Amino acid sequence: MPVLSAGEGPLNRGQRSLIGGDQAVAVTIYDVAERAGVGIGTVSRVLNDSPQVREKTRQRVLAAIEEFNYRPSPIAQRLSLRKTLAIGVITPFFTRPSFVERLRGVEAVIAESEYDLIIYNVETVARRDICFQEVPTSHRVDGLIIISLSPGDEDVARWAEAGVPVILVDADHPLLTRVVTDDVAGGYKATRHLIELGHRKIAYISNPLDNPFGFTSSRYRYRGYRQALADFGLPFQPEYHQESDHSRAQTRAATERLLSLDDPPTAIFVASDTRAMGVLEALKARGLKVPDDVAVIGYDDIEVAEYLGLSTVHQPLYETGALGVELLLKQIDDPERSPMRVELPLELVVRQTTVG
């Protein structure tokens, strides 16, 4: 901390004292400069590793910094640099396993950078709209990662005007760089797997295809499901498609509806592992054996999937998050970078809920 110093020049703005004794006072670059007997410019150069500082004065400055335990104010740096040194992440339901896993990838890369990570959690459509509206124009972040939420053209136009780089992860827009997987292919893989096991009566449980958040994955996986059925000459039964929200209760109910059909399915493709748990629960409650009575395959490959022996489609969740940030960092460095679409591969993971 700066001790009381003698200098009483006209421009000693950094002048501080320790009157209270326990009153915390910020040490500034002026304190350090004065202590080291140099100008603040020199201190700044030392801080920023400028090569044009004589080694000897550098040492003096470093000593003063050490003595005062000085840390430059990031706020002041940011104002001066006109950068926030922060990256925002807009994600729905950030506590759900699949989003958490994506965030893990995001965090890992950001932690290695000079940026702070600011999370904007979205649990309602209203909140999403506010985030889409406010965050990019609020000068809070140098760049933005948006997960699983696809923006509209107006959003994208506004963001472009605001000059904020935005990268989409598991979401789509032609004018933005995005990291995605092929949900149609994923749905196809899962369904084909069931077909190849001999199943002919295959159900699909997912989010409502039309949902307020505009999540598209359920719809695309549905397409893959339909495509696979068609390719293998299986008829599509509308009642084999059931919708449920994220909750296990609703998913159990959806499963019940399937099981109560005159001609119930022998296999169920569920659009997320979380929901698949609801299905397994309903099956167990009915005393049905998995996979003998009913086979189940999920989607995502979250951590518990392995534990449950749940067959699923592995999605590179961590990787998409990490890659998204890497692309964002590049975009921040070079705003002219043209948008690209990066697709990461999916992988069928066969476990005990389909193959006993």
Rule CB under 7 A: choose which of 6, 20, 82, 262 binds DNA.
Answer: 82
**209: buried, middle or exposed (CB in 10 Å: 19+, 13-18, 0-12)?**
middle
Q: Which residues contact 186 (CB under 8 A, 6 or more apart)?
A: 220, 221, 224, 299, 313, 315, 346
Residue 161 binds which entry of DNA, a second copy, none, CB below 5-8 Å type-dependent: a second copy
When the beta carbons of 25 and 230 are compared against a second copy, the nearer one is 25
3-class DSSP string for 214-253: CCCHHHHHHHHHHHHHHHCCCCCCHHHEEECCCCHHHHHH
**Could you tell me if 250 and 211 are in contact, meaning their C-beta atoms sit under 8 angstroms apart?**
no
| Closer residue to DNA (CB): 21 or 56 | 56
CA 95/CA 103 separation, integer angstroms = 10
Q: Rounded to an integer, what distance in angstroms lies between the CA atom of residue 214 and that of residue 243?
A: 15
Q: Is 246 in the site for a second copy (CB under 8 A)?
A: no
157 binding a second copy? (CB under 8 A): no
- Phi, psi (rounded to 5 degrees) for 120: -110, 105
30, 120, 132, 215: which one binds DNA (CB under 7 A): 30
Inter-residue contact 26 to 15 (CB < 8 Å): no
Say if CB 64 and CB 36 are below 8 A apart: yes
39 binds, among a second copy, DNA, none (CB under 5 to 8 A by kind): DNA
- Does position 52 interact with DNA (CB under 7 A)? The reply is yes
Strand 312-314 and strand 347-349: pairing?
antiparallel
Establish if 71 lies at the interface with a second copy (CB under 8 A). yes
Q: Does 79 interact with DNA (rule: CB under 7 A)?
A: yes
Check residue 48 for interaction with DNA (CB under 7 A): yes
- Minimum CB separation from a second copy for residue 76, in Å? 6
* 158-190 burial: b if 16+ Cβ within 10 Å, else e: bbeeeebbbbbbbbebeebbbbbbbbbbbbbbb
Q: Which of 66, 112, 161, 172 binds a second copy (CB under 8 A)?
A: 161
Establish if 337 lies at the interface with a second copy (CB under 8 A). Answer: no
Choose, by CB under 8 A, the member of 23, 52, 260, 338 that binds a second copy.
23
Closest separation between CB of residue 83 and DNA, Å? 9
Q: Is 118 in the site for a second copy (CB under 8 A)?
A: yes
Q: Is 24 in the site for a second copy (CB under 8 A)?
A: yes
Binds 281: which of a second copy, DNA, none (CB < 5-8 Å by kind): a second copy
Q: Is 250 in the site for DNA (CB under 7 A)?
A: no
Piece of the chain touching a second copy by CB under 8 A; list 132-140, 168-176, 184-192, 199-207: 132-140
Q: Which residues bind DNA (CB under 7 A)?
A: 11, 13, 26, 28-30, 37-45, 47-48, 52-54, 56-58, 70-73, 75-77, 79-82
